[in-house]
Amino acid sequence: MRDDVLRQVEQFLYREVRLLDSRQFHQWTELFADDLRYWIPMRSNRYSAVSKSISILDGSRYE
Query: Using CA atoms, how far apart are residues 43 and 52, in angstroms rounded to an integer?
Result: 10
Buried b (16+ CB within 10 A) or exposed e, 23-35: eeeeebeeeeeee
pTM for this entry: 0.57
Q: How far is CA 2 from the centre of its chain?
A: 26
Provide the pLDDT for residue 24.
93
Q: pLDDT 10s per residue in the chain (63 long)?
A: 799 999 999 999 999 999 999 999 999 989 988 888 877 777 666 555 555 555 556 666 655
Domain ranges for the chain, please list them. Answer: 3-62
Q: Which of helix, strand or coil describes residue 25?
A: helix
Provide the pLDDT for residue 44.
66
